[in-house]
């Protein structure tokens, strides 16, 4: 046995959990978990025609929401303002 094995870093643990959530289609915003909806949207990277999405108010209330997409095939993330 190797007792001097380096424990995983906090960053790698966080990254691992983010990968699992993304694969399951779940994102975490604070304490609130949100299941992502799917839509027909062409991926800018691979051309696949389905993406999950969520919206968020990024600027002041008089501006429109930003829509964030994640391709369900290659997991590429892109957005519409």
Kindly report which listed range (15-24, 26-35, 46-55) carries the lowest average pLDDT score: 26-35
73 lies in which domain range? Answer: 35-81
The count of structural domains within the chain is 1
Cβ distance 41 to 70 under 8 Å? no
72 labelled ligand-binding: no
Q: Is 60 annotated as a binding residue?
A: no
- Flag whether pLDDT at 14 surpasses 60: yes
pLDDT value at residue 36: 75
pLDDT of 71 > 90? The answer is: yes
The CATH number given to whatever domain includes residue 75 is 2.20.25.10
Has 47 been labeled as part of a binding site?
no
Q: What is the helix (H) or strand (E) element at residue 54, kind and residue range?
A: strand 51-56
pLDDT at res. 31: 47
71 known ligand binder: yes
The per-residue pLDDT for 64 is 80
Domain presence at residue 8 = no
pLDDT at 25: 64
Q: Which residues, in sequence order, are bridge partners of residue 56?
A: 66
């Amino acid at each position: 046995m190797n007792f001097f094995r380096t424990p995983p870093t906090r960053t790698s643990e966080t990254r691992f959990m983010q990968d699992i959530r993304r694969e399951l289609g779940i994102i975490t915003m604070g304490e609130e978990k949100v299941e992502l909806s799917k839509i027909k949207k062409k991926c800018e990277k691979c051309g696949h025609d389905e993406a999950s999405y969520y919206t968020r108010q990024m600027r002041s209330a008089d501006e429109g929401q930003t829509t964030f997409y994640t391709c369900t095939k290659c997991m590429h993330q892109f957005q519409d303002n």
